[in-house]
Amino acid sequence: MTDTIRILIERWKSDPSGCYQTWFLWPERLKNFRSIRRGIGAVVDEIQAGTFGNAYRGSSLETVVSSIAEQRQIFKGADHAFLWKPKLRIPDIYEHAENQRAFARLLHTCNCCDSEREVLNAIRQLSSLGIKGLGPAAANLLYFIHPTLVMPFNTAIVNGYNALTGSSVKLGKWDHYLAMREGVLALNQRYRDLLSNDLGAIAGLLFDLGMQRYPLPPRQAQAGDVAAWQQELAKAREQVAALARQIQLGQTEDATHTEVQGWLRDLGKSLGFAVWIATNDRSRLYNGEHLSKGCLETLPPALLVAGGDTVPLIDTVWLNATTLEVEAAFEVEHTTSIYSGIVRLLDLALGSDQSAHKHLFLVAPDDREGDVRAQLSRPAFSRVSALNIRYVPYSSLREHRESIARFGSGLKPIEAIARQL
């Protein structure tokens, strides 16, 4: 079978009317990657700013998908999956704001990361939400971000893969796409000398097979390929199902906690501070990069004298970029104990000679303000009032962080959105 497939690939590559000659080697193909990536960034920016709207027509998404659909025949009809189908209420990213934001998170994460693991995790996160009508066709967007990690997807490509391998990949299912991707990677590796590191090449081959441009070689000893595909399908399904169970059980609070830390990190940098991220959170991923990227590697020794065990665990600390004196410290209490967060802030404030200049903040969901106030009223925290610890609700930080980063300076803007306790 290896010889017949090799003969098929060689014939396909030399066919002047096949995808390899008409699209993969098309000089304009690579030039379009940059503009499509820029368009994807515009989609993310509009969704994050709340200006995307609730219609496909006239949106930034229509612009970028239309430019993909113009990439020769292999992407013809790429916009069909994103057209609003009112009777089916799909794809559900126009009337459902949270689904829209989840879609933006996928695009943004993939646009900012550079590893296979991060890309696949972002896809699984989206898949676990079960957004109606938002299936693997979105991979056509991701391909132009990561052509060596994500393969294009359409009916013809699926048909070609099934015909070549004897698999049963179904359209519209992310777990089937992920399993097919593993099979495609194996095929690509097997015939790597004839194909390319860019998965567009093998996708073009499968597209032409799915369009029945070439007769298929007789399948021989395909049981191993089918068994491997079935294993990858089961693996992909379980990964997505496990993530869905976590979401259902409310076990993904770390993601929100990390997101808020990321907001504080970026805001601190924008305001000119050096930033410290808690030692146990430094390797967490935020927007496709380690949360500690661009932050301090160590804290000044003076801060570790009395609070050496707890101060490094404070979620986010802003320090004077020149003197490295602490200017502000933030404990993010998504679902964790507010009590322990207060203790860490107290250790920072009372454990060194820099206490006079510290601004201490508890950052928590809006519905936890009562919990914050109740903890601070405990007799054990009788000295807290003198330290003027303040509460920053998520909603205020979410609403104002971009304008503070753009127009603010110093600590006055963050003090303005904080509440006295």
pLDDT band at 137 (very low <50, low <70, confident <90, very high): very high
Distances (CA, A) of 256 to 68, 290, 335: 33, 15, 10
Question: By the 8 A CB rule, do 381 and 387 touch?
Answer: no
Q: Where are the domains of the chain?
A: 2-248, 253-420
Condensed to tens digits (0 to 9), the pLDDT of residues 246-300 reads 555 554 554 588 899 999 999 999 999 999 999 888 888 888 888 999 999 998 8
Look at 39-48, 128-137, 190-199, 378-387 and tell me which has the smallest mean pLDDT. 378-387
Question: By the 8 A CB rule, do 23 and 152 touch?
Answer: no
pLDDT band at 355 (very low <50, low <70, confident <90, very high): very low
Check whether the bond before 215 is cis (ω within 30° of 0). no
Average pLDDT, the chain: 85
- Highest average pLDDT, of 50-54, 301-305, 354-358, comes from 50-54
Distances (CA, A) of 263 to 43, 103, 121, 270, 294: 20, 19, 21, 11, 14
3-state helix, strand, coil in the chain (%, to 5): 55, 10, 35
Q: Which residue has the higher pLDDT, 28 or 99?
A: 99
pLDDT band at 2 (very low <50, low <70, confident <90, very high): very low
CA torsion sign for 223, 228, 229, 235 is: positive
Strand spans (E) along 209-354: 274-277, 285-286, 289-290, 316-319, 326-332
Write out the two tokens for 308.
Answer: 């050496």
CA distance 217 to 7: 9
C-beta neighbour count of 330 within 10 angstroms = 26
CA distance 228 to 165: 11
224 Cβ neighbours under 8 A, 6+ residues apart: none
pLDDT band at 337 (very low <50, low <70, confident <90, very high): low
Q: What angle do CA 184, 187, 191 make, to 5 degrees?
A: 140
First to last CA, the chain: 74
- Tell me which amino acid residue 203 is: A
Write out the two tokens for 21.
Answer: 């000659």
Condensed to tens digits (0 to 9), the pLDDT of residues 212-250 reads 888 877 665 455 665 665 676 567 567 666 666 655 555
Condensed to tens digits (0 to 9), the pLDDT of residues 68-120 reads 887 778 998 888 999 999 989 999 999 999 999 999 999 999 998 889 999 99
Condensed to tens digits (0 to 9), the pLDDT of residues 358-408 reads 789 999 888 888 888 877 776 656 666 677 889 999 999 999 999 998 888
| pLDDT at residue 335 in the model | 65
CA-only gyration radius of the chain, Å: 26
